[in-house]
Amino acid sequence: MKFTELNLNDALMKAIKRSGFEEATPIQAQTIPLAMAGKDVIGQAQTGTGKTAAFGLPILQQLDKHHKAIQAVIIEPTRELAIQTQEELFRLGRDEHAHVQVVYGGADIGRQIRSLKKTPEVLVGTPGRLLDHLKRKTIDLSQVQTVVLDEADEMLDMGFIQDIESILNYAVNRKQTLLFSATMPKPILRIGEKFMNDPEVVQIKAKELTADLIDQYFVRVKESEKFDTMCRLIDVQGPDLAVVFGRTKRRVDELTRGLQARGYNAAGIHGDLTQARRMTVLKRFKAGKLDILVATDVAARGLDISGVTHVYNYDIPQDPDSYVHRIGRTGRAGKNGISVTFVTPNELGYLRTIERLTKKKMSPLRPPTNDEALHGQLKQAKSQIEELMQSDLSKYGDDANELLENYSALDLAAALLKSLSKDNAAKVEITPEKPLPFKSGRSHRGHGRGHGHGARHGHFDNNRRKGRGKRNQARKSGRHDFVIKKKHKA
């Protein structure tokens, strides 16, 4: 469906055209007409499917510019996602002159209070900071028409459900509630039952939810061999932009230092970093000034960064929902993406459970050799040299001639190639972590993400004997080499 068929006003169509969009995504095509009709909507869609515009465009179209009050509030789980949502709504509403403000923890609340005195029409915020302002009476939600709960399952996992219910109780006169979530666990559905009025359900098909444009691989590897294997894979695959996921903050710090020590252009983000530091790293990554972003699940959840070609799961996620969110960083805007998950032998049960949820089998990938990694590095180095050859080199001529008097052209070219290659001999120590504990034949409920032995809702139940034959068969099967499918351009 084209945006021209959605009855949006001229100002919004101008913003859409400026962004280069013509076709609405499935979540947009199904949600926008319902939201514009004033209906409550429950939408199942992961980040990257265009849901910000799905709820943002109807909100912007229905704003009363002559009424100075907060008319819509959008609740996001993290600061990064709140900022991204505010930025996108600002871009979409620029020609409408919509006043959109964001509030989040970790920032100067006094400055936020001063800005709130200008009374934005749309307020985006994280649950904790929104409640802070409500208790201080620095925001008034009594005239809010629309409330959006975005990434609801993530807010559930972060323990924000009670905060969300409190905020909804402040917005007593709302006429519309829109809820979006990648998954629909029972507590999320209960919010729909309690706070929504006969909601319409928009559910993206499973094949769309798990991103068919992503080629999913796994590498079976010992914990002690993970880092070297990942470095060789990066050399061979040559990602344009890559995200590496680590399970813990310590892991992210060590991986970042290790990659930097070997010459990779990498930086990390996690919850212990200051907000300013996290935003600086993300800004550099978005601008293409970083090649590799290392992150924990919470720090990276909801990031909307285009151009990510590869996702590396250094640690297998603790539940299938996290896997869906992780790989959703790539395979966007009609382009192919690649995800590689490193799995220790004891974690194969988790891998099979993820495959059942995503309804897509991961292909085994053979770890590259040192020679293959060097070949990949040299290929990238030659590409860099070819780019340099297109630039103006005239001012280096005299010094180049001086070098040629002392060294052969072959030796100079070899030295240049060496300088552009990574130092994979640099010793890097990554603190070992135990594999995820996997209990067969049992389910573990109520632990929440990152706690207990199993995933929530008992996803991780398995029969070891049944799985053993399949694992033996996988060992015997041929593993994939490094022929990467040609990426489709948007």
For the chain, give the mean pLDDT.
Answer: 83
d(Cα 148, Cα 97) in Å, to the nearest integer?
21
- DSSP per-residue string spanning 120-146: -SEEEE-HHHHHHHHHHT----TT--E
Q: What angle do CA 247, 205, 1 make, to 5 degrees?
A: 120
pLDDT band at 475 (very low <50, low <70, confident <90, very high): very low
Burial string for 354-378 (b: 16+ CB within 10 Å, else e) reads: bbebbebebebbebbeeebbbebbe
Give how far Cα 487 sits from Cα of 215, 360, 476, Å.
Answer: 10, 19, 29
Per-residue pLDDT tens over the stretch 265-300: 999 998 788 878 888 998 899 888 999 999 987 777
Contact of 297 with 317, CB cutoff 8 Å? yes
Per-residue pLDDT tens over the stretch 368-386: 998 998 888 888 888 888 8
Q: What is the predicted pLDDT for the residue at 387?
A: 85
Q: What are phi and psi of 343, to 5 degrees?
A: -125, 125
What is the architecture of the domain spanning 3-208? Answer: 3-Layer(aba) Sandwich (3.40)
pLDDT at 304 over 90: no
pLDDT at 462 over 50: no
Mean pLDDT calculated for residue range 104-120? 93
460 vs 52, residue with greater confidence:
52
Is the whole-model pTM more than 0.85?
Answer: no
- What share of the chain in percent tops pLDDT 70? 82
Domain with CATH 3.40.50.300 in the chain: 3-208, 211-369+426-476
pLDDT band at 319 (very low <50, low <70, confident <90, very high): low
Q: What is the predicted pLDDT for the residue at 333?
A: 60
Top-ranked range on mean pLDDT: pick from 323-327, 404-408, 461-465, 470-474: 404-408
Name the nearest CA neighbour of 304 among 140, 490, 458, 76: 76
Mean pLDDT calculated for residue range 123-149? 96
211 vs 15, residue with greater confidence:
15
Strand locations in 41-117 (E): 41-44, 72-75, 100-103
pLDDT at 85 over 60: yes
Q: What is the predicted pLDDT for the residue at 301?
A: 63
Per-residue pLDDT tens over the stretch 394-452: 899 899 999 999 999 999 988 888 888 776 678 888 998 776 655 443 333 333 333 33
* Pairing state between β 176-181 and 200-203: unpaired
pLDDT at 481 over 50: no
Top-ranked range on mean pLDDT: pick from 19-28, 34-43, 245-254, 292-301: 34-43
Mean pLDDT calculated for residue range 173-198? 90
d(Cα 319, Cα 322) in Å, to the nearest integer?
6
Per-residue pLDDT tens over the stretch 339-352: 999 999 888 888 88
Per-residue pLDDT tens over the stretch 97-107: 999 999 999 88
pLDDT band at 355 (very low <50, low <70, confident <90, very high): confident
What is 211-369+426-476's CATH superfamily?
P-loop containing nucleotide triphosphate hydrolases (3.40.50.300)
Per-residue pLDDT tens over the stretch 202-236: 987 644 444 567 899 999 999 999 999 999 999 99
Q: What is the predicted pLDDT for the residue at 373?
A: 84
Alpha helices for 137-211 (secondary structure H): 152-157, 161-170, 186-195, 206-209
Q: What is the predicted pLDDT for the residue at 357?
A: 73
- For residue 313, list its beta bridge partners: 245, 341
Contact of 215 with 337, CB cutoff 8 Å? yes
* Long-range Cβ pairs for the range 64-69 (8 Å, 24+): 64/121, 65/96, 65/97, 65/98, 65/121, 67/143, 68/119, 69/119, 69/121, 69/140, 69/143
- For residue 201, list its beta bridge partners: 42
Per-residue pLDDT tens over the stretch 50-65: 789 999 999 999 999 8
pLDDT band at 477 (very low <50, low <70, confident <90, very high): very low
- What share of the chain in percent tops pLDDT 90? 46
CB burial class (10 A; 0-12, 13-18, 19+) of residue 257?
middle
